[in-house]
Structure 1
């Protein structure tokens, strides 16, 4: 699997409400689902004059002028930098083979649709109705993972499959329950579910600033295979 294939997995397992090609741009209607489903992407050669077109289309949707940039978009990245657009959320793509680990009893479960307590946990981490709607839009195999520790629900994640690759999104562990192995157990449960669905690979996206997540994913045997970032005016 090459990096572009993995970007296809990202888009299939965390989809925008609508995508429209306008000139050299792919314009995404995110409907409150976050940057990943709201940022414009170039689909052909772009000049500085084309930027205004994308900005106008995003304004029609009530969205800020936000651009998603991959390594091959270096020319556009330079244009936006010169126009005063600043880098946001440098992000890292991880992928690896499905791992088989035993999920400790009563620590992590796959549940769909997510329970209200799971939505409450997500909400505490800033993952609100707009992102829940993204999960509901996924058409392929999908589930949510409930993590428990100290006899309470304290973590959640969403996992979906495109082709033979599972991708985990929206990983959240309540602050008081972090660094106790809950996220790891949730990954074990996600991998177990993915294998049962016939997946062969396991993947995630995390921000470059989330060092703890990067350490966890590396320890699970996942490797960095791609990067991207956003640009937006302050």
Structure 2
């Protein structure tokens, strides 16, 4: 009872846990953040557009990020794009957010659409509570440097020239994750990559060999990367997934990711 109270103090409410909300950003803003996490070896500006080249390693690092105004008429901009990539012996390619004001005009110019992709986001804090890997596999190894085991499990190993390795290793704060495989199975059980850039953590290259799938390894690996990103101050996660990759989309659904926006690529018709 209050009559028997000797002393007391006001206890403030517990502080809200960081990383329970996703910052509000536009499609173009998030595309710029994602581009920094997969940086091209060479870039050039055409108004607000960014031309990117990396010896042909991945569409993202060898395409024009269409954002804002190119500063010239569209026909002239597309012609300049084709010349720039031809000088580097690369096919011209545009990366266009679905919501871009240029999408319909580029379509009318006869550039074919391909590789529809989704950008998905999630609060980071819940990902830090994902379970550890099964005890018999040990812990996820995190490294600043990409090693031979990681590269051996990466499906693009045959394409990893020096230029490609610069893309894979580039970004503000890059972490490579490797989870050992079960006894009798050579190579890692899963690999992944994360790049911390301010409040954002970009997840990518999450791969699990067929013999290790359906064992929660991708989830455990993402949890380890999320915990490290959270320690560095990140509050939100983002990733790219091809729109027709139903298995990956289902995994990310279970982890709390939702669609932020879509983008696609455009190439000139032959």
Same fold (TM over 0.5): yes
Q: 1:20, 1:180 → 2: CA distance?
A: 44
**Matched-pair contact (CA < 8 Å) for 2:151–2:157:** no
- Normalising by structure 1, we get a TM-score of 0.88
Structure showing greater radius of gyration is 2
Judge which range, 20-29 or 9-18, deviates more. 20-29
Query: Aligned with 2:154: secondary structure?
Result: helix
- Taking the aligned partners of 1:198 and 1:149, their CA distance within structure 2 comes to 30
Q: CA deviation at 1:169?
A: 1.7
Alignment partners' CA distance in 1, 2:121 and 2:158:
25
Structure 2 length normalisation: TM-score?
A: 0.77
Greater Cα shift, 185-194 or 150-159: 150-159
Q: How far, CA to CA, are the matches of 1:97 and 1:25 in structure 2?
A: 29
Task: Note closer, same or farther for the CA distance 1:31–1:72 as it changes in structure 2 (3 Å cut).
Answer: same
Higher strand share: 1
Deviation of 1:83 (Å): 4.2
The CA deviation at 1:215 is 0.9
Q: Does 1:6 align with 2:30?
A: yes
Alignment partner for residue 209 of structure 2, among 165, 171, 174?
Answer: 174
Unaligned runs of 5+ in 2: 1-23
Question: Residue by residue, what CA displacement relative to the aligned partner does 1:133-183 show, whole Å, maximum 9, x if unpaired?
Answer: 212232x21110112332341321111111111011222222332233221
Q: How far apart, CA to CA, are the structure 2 residues paired with 1:56 and 1:194?
A: 40
- Aligned CA RMSD, in angstroms, stands at 2.2
Is this contact kept in 2: 1:148–1:182, CA < 8 A? Answer: no
Residue 166 of structure 2: aligned partner: 133
- How much does 1:119 deviate? 0.5
| Separation in structure 1 between the aligned mates of residue 190 and residue 130 of structure 2, nearest angstrom | 19
Match of 2:231 among 186, 192, 196: 196
Structure 2 contact 54–164 (Cα < 8 Å) conserved: no
2:250 pairs, out of 202, 215, 220, with 215
Q: Cα distance 1:175–1:24, how it changes in 2: closer, same or farther (>3 A)? A: same
Aligned residue number for residue 68 of structure 1: 95
| Residue 20 (structure 2) pairs with residue 20 (structure 1) | no
For the 8 Å contact 2:144–2:176, the answer to whether it is kept is yes
Residue-by-residue CA offset, 1:73-122 (whole Å, 9 max, x unaligned): 34x33343344432221111111111222322415221221220111111
Q: 1:124 to 1:27 in 2, by over 3 A?
A: closer
Q: Which residue of 1 aligns with 2:175?
A: 143
Give aligned pairs, total.
232
> Quick one: which of 46, 50, 54 aligns to 1:30?
54
